Amino acid sequence: MAGFRLPRSVGLLSPSLGANAICFVVPLVYFFVLSFLQVRSFQVVFDPTTSNYVRVLQQYSGPLVSTLSLAVTVAAIVTVIGFIYASACRFIGGSKGGWLLAIAMITLFGGYLAKLYAWRTILGENGILNTGLIELGLIQAPITALLYNNFAVVLALTHYTLPLAILPIYGSLRAIEDLPIAAARDLGATDFRILKDIIVPQCATGLFSAFAMTLLFVAGDAIAPRLLGGTSSSMVGVFIQDQFGFRVNAPMGSALAFTVIAGSAIILLIIGLGGGRLVRQGDQP
Amino acid sequence: MSQEFEKLRKAGLAMSSPSGLAQFRSFGMTTRRDFLRLAGAGALMFGTGLGQGPAMAAETVNFFGWQDYDTALDANGFFAANDIAVKSTYMTDNNEIIANAKNGGIGNMDLVTPDLLYGPFMAQIGLFEPLDLAQIPNFSSLFAPFQAMAAAKMDGQQFCLPFAWGNVVLMYNADVVKEAPTSWLDMLKPEFKGKVGLTAEMSHLVIPFTMAVAKTRAATRITKEALAEVYATLTKIKKEQARSIAPSFGDLAAQFASGEIVIAPAWEPVSVWAGEKAPTLKWSFPVEGSFSFIDNMALIKDAPHKATAYKLLNQSLSPEAQANAANKNMTAVTVEKALPLLDAKPRSLYPYEDVAGFWAARGDGMPPLWPVEKDGDFVTLDDVLSGWEEFLRA
């Protein structure tokens, strides 16, 4: 009788699965368990409780809602702009499509903090934008509403996450064959119909990936609101950072983080189900 | 012979012998014998010291504290001259010292840099070793107020060595604000609407505003009602007057420089960090009182490298290390002999002409930490921190 042999694919996948388990699953489980513990006299004590989650819902519901709303806003903007740009790369750019994509990727150079400070330089009272508008005689005094508010946070996060969102959408668009599009056009389909019935359904996975990546990045960010947000831009990431650092309360910080993860997962589930239904409706004649 | 084999042969990846056997070239694969040979060579190199980088220092001291305080100690190549290496981890808040020491740091960490607000509490809960001043001859070089400072001692023993200090002052743009403000509550004036700066430093806001609102110098011994009033005032300033909450004093300096704010509770070096082209920045010490911080060097209990750590503690009070720290970080020095070594800018920021008088006006200089456990009607540290979060969420 032949002995049991693991499929070859399992063996090949095991290094990446192992790395994923060690770097992602184990810390996640650790922090999840931690979120049910407590801190007394600056030390974590094993006294399981759900009180951290109760406190999160009682005290942080405001920042939670505003954070997730802002994350959905940025993710929606980025997905739409990313789709337009990726479509241009795929369908209009022709042989130059790769270059257009490379240009988008180049904007990733310079790092996150540098981009945030650049936006401060652009949007500040003495910034490039205000100075330019004054020089052109379009305004008399600097517009103060450009910086230190949610507008500035959304703008900077959109700028940063856009190239990351373009990639999965472009990848999906590359898989769409030209033939069905040409056939639809020959049969008299409008551009909108082609977009709705052929392109979007076939790149739905890429669109969802772009939306999800952006949402998760923004929902956990603590730096943009600190640097560009105003006195009322209290995103949860700031409080998570404070709990781990300033309050030395890792269980509470973990509970906050897992609540954000749960909130993001619910949003993605709704978007995924809703998007799937739309795609299926589009498939029907 | 197959076409595929011929292609490999042409590429130099395969060869055939007259016997008909074929040999293929492999990349990256190592036989067991090769591996053992490599491991043996590695062990030999390790044993003989071949292949190592620079010679290892005699002892490595584990430092956990503010960035640049460690490198300041290396004035005039002190580390190399004394065969010392320093392994540094940087903190972002004093509370982290407590958390790290209690969660495995005792017995592993050597030197930390608590301020004198949290330092006495840390000594009280047994995180620090009492210092043997016989091993720190430079202690006698400290300005007299720092030698005598009660907060650095417990039961007659020294636990903290004052290393650097500074003050929370009411800074203003003198090009715009023609009359120097005299009270922290001046930030509520209508002319400063949208032009007030705040920082996310809890003690730097709560202590001065407690002095102003609750009208007491014992700013860390107040009732819940008084604390609520303090946060109500701060929230009013945040919502109605402030431009933003700067994440650091560097950011606050940038806001002063760009003209986005004209008044803020700040630290003296902000006037330098704002740059040469910034508006004229001046500051006042409000009549209600102000908060001064003193950062210290302290020895963690059961420090594993005590003898070397003592060398560094003594070095921290040398004129060279003091001047190095002040010239780098714009902090104030605690040793008089460092004054001639200071650059003009850091020297101009602090009242060095009468250090004793300056600290005498502040009583002992430092308020104690808010009570950690329930203490009569006084608010606890947890009450203050919870209120701070509520203030940030508001």
- B220, B170 contact by CB (below 8 A): no
| Mean pLDDT across B240-267 | 93
C-alpha span between A46 and A34 (Å, rounded): 9
How far away is chain A from the Cα of B319, in angstroms, using its nearest Cα?
Answer: 33
Q: What's the complex ipTM?
A: 0.76
Chain B residues with CB inside 8 Å of A147's CB?
Answer: 260
Residue-wise pLDDT tens digits, B191-233: 999 999 999 889 999 999 999 999 998 999 999 999 999 999 9
Residue-wise pLDDT tens digits, B312-351: 999 999 999 999 999 999 999 999 999 999 999 999 999 9
Interchain contact, A231 vs B258, CB within 8 Å: no
Chain A residues with CB inside 8 Å of B99's CB?
Answer: 42, 248
Chain B residues with CB inside 8 Å of A246's CB?
Answer: 92-93, 95, 202, 385
Is any Cβ of chain A less than 8 angstroms from the Cβ of B96?
A: yes
Residue with token string 């009492």: B130
Residue-wise pLDDT tens digits, A123-143: 998 899 999 999 999 999 999
- What is the end-to-end Cα distance of chain B in Å, rounded? 81
Among A127, A226, A239, the residue with its CB nearest the CB of B247 is: A226
Residue B49 CB partners (closer than 8 Å, separation 6+): none
Which residues does A contribute to its contact with B (CB < 8 Å)?
A: 41-44, 59-60, 62-63, 120, 124-127, 144, 147-148, 226-227, 229-232, 234, 238-239, 242, 245-248
Is any Cβ of chain A less than 8 angstroms from the Cβ of B383?
A: no
Chain A residues with CB inside 8 Å of B203's CB?
Answer: none
- List the single residue in A with minimal CA-CA distance to B386: A247
Give residue B46's pLDDT. 42
Distances in Å between the alpha carbon of B322 and those of B113, B139, B312? 14, 12, 12
pLDDT higher than threshold 90 for residue B12: no
Give residue B57's pLDDT. 52
Delineate the domains of chain A, giving CATH numbers in brackets: 50-283 (1.10.3720.10)
- The pLDDT mean for chain B works out to 87
Is any Cβ of chain A less than 8 angstroms from the Cβ of B194?
A: yes
pLDDT higher than threshold 90 for residue B157: yes
Among B98, B259, B392, the residue with its CB nearest the CB of A234 is: B392
Residue-wise pLDDT tens digits, A201-243: 999 999 999 999 999 999 999 899 989 988 876 789 989 988 9
Give residue A3's pLDDT. 62
What's the CA angle centered on B45, arms B42 and B51, to 5 degrees? 105
Give residue B394's pLDDT. 86
Interchain contact, B200 vs A126, CB within 8 Å: no
Interchain contact, A231 vs B198, CB within 8 Å: yes
Residue-wise pLDDT tens digits, B159-177: 999 999 999 999 999 999 9
C-alpha span between A146 and A126 (Å, rounded): 11
Is any Cβ of chain A less than 8 angstroms from the Cβ of B6?
A: no
Most confident of A139-143, B185-189, B241-245, B276-280: B185-189
- List the single residue in B with minimal CA-CA distance to A55: B386
Residue-wise pLDDT tens digits, A173-188: 999 999 999 999 999 9
In DSSP notation, B316-360 reads HTSHHHHHHHHHHH-PEESBGGGGGGS-HHHHHTS-GGGHHHHHH
pLDDT band at residue A43 under the 50/70/90 scheme = confident
Interchain contact, B202 vs A246, CB within 8 Å: yes
Statement: the pTM of the whole predicted model exceeds 0.90: no
Give residue A126's pLDDT. 86
Is any Cβ of chain A less than 8 angstroms from the Cβ of B193?
A: no
Residue-wise pLDDT tens digits, B23-65: 444 444 444 444 445 445 544 444 444 444 444 557 899 999 9
pLDDT higher than threshold 60 for residue B16: no
pLDDT band at residue B21 under the 50/70/90 scheme = very low
How far away is chain A from the Cα of B352, in angstroms, using its nearest Cα?
Answer: 32
pLDDT band at residue B18 under the 50/70/90 scheme = very low
Residue B3 CB partners (closer than 8 Å, separation 6+): none
Residue-wise pLDDT tens digits, B93-139: 888 898 889 888 899 999 999 999 999 999 999 999 999 999 999 99
pLDDT higher than threshold 70 for residue B66: yes
Q: Which of A44, A231, A238 to mutate to test the interface with B (most CBs of B within 10 A)?
A: A231
pLDDT higher than threshold 60 for residue A194: yes
- B146, B334 contact by CB (below 8 A): yes
Delineate the domains of chain B, giving CATH numbers in brackets: 3-48 (no CATH), 59-165+296-356 (3.40.190.10), 166-291+370-393 (3.40.190.10)
Chain A residues with CB inside 8 Å of B194's CB?
Answer: 144
Q: Which of A143, A150, A248, A252 to mutate to test the interface with B (most CBs of B within 10 A)?
A: A248
- List the single residue in A with minimal CA-CA distance to B98: A42
